[in-house]
Amino acid sequence: MSRAGPGRRPGDPEVTKQTILHAARGRFAAVGFERATIRSIASEAGVDPALVHHHFGSKQSLFAAAHELPIDPGAMVSAVASVPVGARGEAIARAYLAVFGAGETSPAVSLIRAAATNEAAARMLREFIADVFLAKAGELTDQDQPRLRLALIGSHMIGIAFGRVIIGVKDLTDAEIETLVAALAPAFQRYLTEPNLFG
Amino acid sequence: MSRAGPGRRPGDPEVTKQTILHAARGRFAAVGFERATIRSIASEAGVDPALVHHHFGSKQSLFAAAHELPIDPGAMVSAVASVPVGARGEAIARAYLAVFGAGETSPAVSLIRAAATNEAAARMLREFIADVFLAKAGELTDQDQPRLRLALIGSHMIGIAFGRVIIGVKDLTDAEIETLVAALAPAFQRYLTEPNLFG
């Protein structure tokens, strides 16, 4: 995905930055945060490593920049909040499964890989989830403990990504999106709106 | 956890092996499969690295041995199958959350970390899940697609571990076990026994 508008030419700094971000997402998703090097990302983008450092600084900064673009859980929560409350479980399931349509090269997969083995990445994801995603939980439900409710949904979504894309459990990878939506939507809906969820 | 029985003495090969396995579980869980070295595991166990190689061969073999002991999903499925069908969702939730009682040093956490970044570990976990866990799905439910049903439960459980222990999402780490059981048990039960789960 390039944000370079019409009229942008190769050599334009904005085109270069988008090329680097695209390469970074690919490398991080393929080998994880630890093993993706600035050098390999630069090589994939066809630029000098110094140019990557110039535009993005550290690998950590590049990682953050590369993942800000396509996933915006905050915007997703606001979009879900705009549908009737009884349809929000399905809306979340659809929005989430769309993110994983890209499979191995999904930015979300890269985030999960990195968080599993790198404390800096885990902290980034932890803070991101708490500050961007769970902070908006009150927009989705009027029930008690909205953050824990949304955290349960989030944990299930991360687990689906883990099983389907990272571990590659065949039963999950072979399942159609509509099959998964049918199973997940009512589970998410219950987490959002069941008054006695926690006993 | 040591399996050395009463009467076992320090220096006994079985005691040494259990000490090494204990150290291995701790190191793998703390830093993941890639960064845990035989040397560091030997150091933690207070033995020579050559002794680790002698007893367990490769790091991969040591990893497998270290994780066979405390988690046996096959045995867990059989235990769950022995309770009435309507109580199986809760039985799974309780059995699973007990595994994660040890937090960061849980063997399951080590498995998840390793699978996230190491294809050999991912394959090991994938095969383990398919051959040991999902293969027994038919013991738990008479409904259609028993493997996919159990895979959905498994993905949710992995996601809970990921959010609670690996990312450290505060809302999940602060939640009491009983609170989580109340939320998860009916979700798992629905995955097992809802006739129209997939629409």
The DSSP result for B7-48, as a single string, is: T--TT-HHHHHHHHHHHHHHHHHHHHHHH--HHHHHHHHTS-
pLDDT of residue A173: 92
Tens digit of each residue's pLDDT (9 = 90 or more) over B1-46: 444 445 556 678 889 999 999 999 888 767 766 678 999 999 999 9
Which residues of chain A make contact with B154, given a CB cutoff of 8 A?
A: 159, 163, 169
pLDDT of residue B114: 79
* pTM greater than 0.80 (yes/no): no
On whether the CB atoms of residues B192 and B149 are closer than 8 A, the answer is: yes
User: Residue A70 above 70 pLDDT?
Assistant: no
- DSSP H stretches of helix in A83-145: 88-99, 107-117, 119-128
pLDDT of residue A85: 96
Complex prediction ipTM: 0.74
Alpha-carbon distance A128 to nearest alpha carbon in chain B (angstroms): 10
Among residues B61, B166, B185, B152, which one has the least CA distance to residue B117?
B166
Percent of chain B with pLDDT over 90: 48
pLDDT of residue B133: 79
Determine which of A74-83, A180-189, B142-151 has the lowest per-residue pLDDT on average: A74-83
Q: What's the CA gap between A180 and A183, in Å, rounded? A: 5
pLDDT of residue A8: 58
pLDDT of residue A50: 96
pLDDT of residue A4: 43
User: Residue A147 above 90 pLDDT?
Assistant: yes
Alpha-carbon distance A61 to nearest alpha carbon in chain B (angstroms): 19
Percent of chain A with pLDDT over 90: 48
Tokens of A13: 């700094």
SS3 B156: helix
Q: Do B155 and A160 touch (CB under 8 A)?
A: yes
Among A116, A125, A156, the residue with its CB nearest the CB of B113 is A116
Size of interface A-B (CB pairs under 8 A): 155
On whether the CB atoms of residues A66 and A107 are closer than 8 A, the answer is: yes
Average pLDDT, chain B: 84
* For range A44-72, the mean pLDDT: 81
pLDDT of residue B70: 45
User: Residue B118 above 60 pLDDT?
Assistant: yes
Tens digit of each residue's pLDDT (9 = 90 or more) over A154-180: 999 989 988 988 889 999 999 999 999
Which residues are CB-contacts of B16 (< 8 A; sequence separation ≥ 6)?
A: B45, B47, B51, B55
Which residues are CB-contacts of A83 (< 8 A; sequence separation ≥ 6)?
A: A91
Among residues A108, A167, A153, A32, which one has the least CA distance to residue B108?
A167
On whether the CB atoms of residues B112 and B158 are closer than 8 A, the answer is: yes
pLDDT of residue B90: 97
Number of Cβ within a 10 Å radius of residue B4: 15
On whether the CB atoms of residues B21 and B63 are closer than 8 A, the answer is: no
pLDDT band of residue A5 (cuts 50, 70, 90) is very low
